[in-house]
Each structure stands twice: as structure tokens, then as C-alpha cells.
Amino acid sequence: MDNEQHTEVPAEEEKSFLRVIVHSFFIIPFLIAVFGVLLFAGMRLLTQEKRSVYDYLNDVKVGGRSKRWQGAFELSKMLANPKLVPQEERFDNELISAFKAAQHDDNRVRQYLALAMGRTQRKVFGPVLTASLAEEKEENLPALIYAIGMIGDPGNAERLHEFVGHGNARVRSITVVALGRLGDPQSVEFLKKGLQDPEPNVKWGSAISLANMGDLSGKSVLLNVLDRDYLSQFSEVDPTEQNDLIMAAINAGAVYDDREIKSRIKFISEKDNNMMVRAAALKAVKK
């Protein structure tokens, strides 16, 4: 037994051996993979071309089914930035051409192109959108009407009056908001009809639009919108929508020297559970 040779590896050598294995088979390949990913990402960023509005319009015109609506969507997003809106006739003509050609395409193409027009706030697109309303698919009407409101040309308001009585509640709701943005005095009588609508969103939108146009006919409805407990009765109105409605009502009502409205806004500035809403109310109180 004394002459038997020991083959055990010393502990320090065993640890060193294990470190070599870990580095060789795990750490080094991992670092190589990470470096490769970073190199690929860097090259992609360097070589990737920044797409223009005309690139997206081209996708809408000649792309496949999914590429067309995605191109229209990206275009509408891009044009939300006023600095990226081309100030040239070529752009106007190409966007109008793409919109007209999409009449029988996927609904999303038509909707996003309408929103793209609206976000430019260019009056040239108003007649194109209003002329399309008569034969437009019902599911596309909210996008077109909303876009007309964004353009903000009062001359387009008359064409929207008939939609205050439309059979689709969403269409009616979008219409009364758009009329408030357009601000044509002839719309007041139609918005007053909206105050009697069975759909709450139409009532609320009509009251806010009237107030923005200098008419407090919807004061009682406006006071309801300024009451979070009242809005909480409607399960379909989530907290974010409640906040948006309350802030819209604050902005619309704050200009009036009305005791009840002022009192309600002051209460919101002190007690509401949302900081953004309280800040908006406080700003209105200070004014």
C-alpha cells in the first residue's frame, strides 16, 4: 500500500481546471455572441435609412395587404409632428390620390389616411373628406369626421350636421366633438339636440362643445361631467376616460363667471384623486 501511487488531483489544480472549462465553453462563447449582436445592431443603425412620408405613401400604393395599412398607420404617426409635414403641392396630391384609391381597400388604410390628413391641419384636405362622407362605410365614418374636426375649418361644419342624428352612437359622439372644434355658430342648434341624446357620451360632448363655443345651454350636463362620482356610475368609462372628460369640462367651463361651475372646479382642485386633474383645476381657479 505504501508504494501505491496516488492519482488524486490537488484541490487548487482542480479549481484551476474548472475555471478553464467555464471560460472556454461558457463565458468566451457568450461574450462572442454578445459582441456579435452589438456589432449587428450597430451596423443596422448606421445603414438604416430614415423613411420619408413619400416612402410610406409608396407602401400604401404598391405594398401588399398588410404593408398598405401599416404604411398608412406610420404616415399618420409621422404627421402628428408638424415639423415633418411637407409644405408642397406634391405631397397634398399624393395623399389625396392614395386616399381615393383606398376606397375599397382594407378599412384601416382609409382610416389612417384620413387621420394623416387631419393631423396636417391643412384646409386642402377638408373638401376631400367631406365629399367622401356620403358613400363612406359606416365603420370609417368616425375617422373621417374626427379628421375633419382636426383640420378646424368652420366651412366644413355644415356637412357634419346630419351626422348628429346618425344611428351609430359612436358616429354621433365623434360628430359633436368635431363640431365643437370647428366652432361654426350654425352648429349650436344641432349641439343642443345632442344634449337630449340617449347616449351619455353624446350629451357630454355636446355640452363641452357648446361651452367652448360660448353657450351654456348644457350647464347641467357640464356640472355632471365635473362630478367624478357621477361618472363612476358608468362602468364603460374607465379612469383615464374620466380624467380626459373632467379636464375637457374644466377647460370649457373655466371661462364662465358662473358660481356653480367655479365651485365645482375649486372642489376638484382640492379633492380630486388624480394629480393631473387637480393641477388642471388649480390652474383654472388661479385664472
Query: Are 168 and 141 within 8 A, CB to CB?
Result: yes
pLDDT of residue 49: 54
State residue 32's pLDDT score. 65
Q: What's the rounded Cα separation, in Å, for the pair 191 and 54?
A: 39
Give the predicted TM-score (pTM) of the model.
0.80
pLDDT tens, residue by residue, 228-280: 999 999 999 999 999 999 999 999 999 999 999 999 999 999 999 999 999 99
pLDDT averaged over 10-residue windows placed end to end, the chain, 287 residues: 50 52 53 62 53 94 92 96 94 96 94 97 96 95 98 97 97 98 97 97 98 96 97 95 97 95 97 96 92
Q: Which three cell numbers stand for residue 42?
A: 450597430
Q: Which pLDDT does position 287 carry in this prediction? A: 79
- DSSP conformation letters of 153-179: -GGGSGGGGGGGG-SSHHHHHHHHHHH
Domain residue ranges in the chain: 54-147
Distance CA 155, CA 165 (A): 20
DSSP 8-class letter at 186 = G
8-46 burial code (b ≥16 CB/10 A, e <16) = eeeeeeeeeeeeeeeeeeeeeeeeeeeeeeeeeeeeeee
The pLDDT of residue 26 is: 53
114, 187, 106, 199: which is closest to 151 by C-alpha?
114
| Residue 171: per-residue pLDDT | 98
Q: Note whether 43 and 25 are within 8 A (CB).
A: no
Tens of pLDDT, residue by residue over 104-125, are 999 999 999 999 999 999 999 9
Say what the pLDDT of residue 47 is. 41
Report the C-alpha gap between 78 and 85 in whole angstroms.
Answer: 8
User: Any long-range contacts for 209-212 (C-beta under 8 Å, 24+ apart)?
Assistant: 209/176, 209/177, 209/179, 209/180, 209/181, 209/252, 210/180, 211/249, 211/252, 211/253, 211/256, 212/180, 212/183, 212/251, 212/252
Q: What is the pLDDT of residue 46?
A: 46
Distance CA(246)–CA(258), nearest Å, equals 17
Helix 107-120 / helix 141-151 crossing angle, nearest 10 deg: 10
Contact predicate 147/114, CB 8 Å: yes
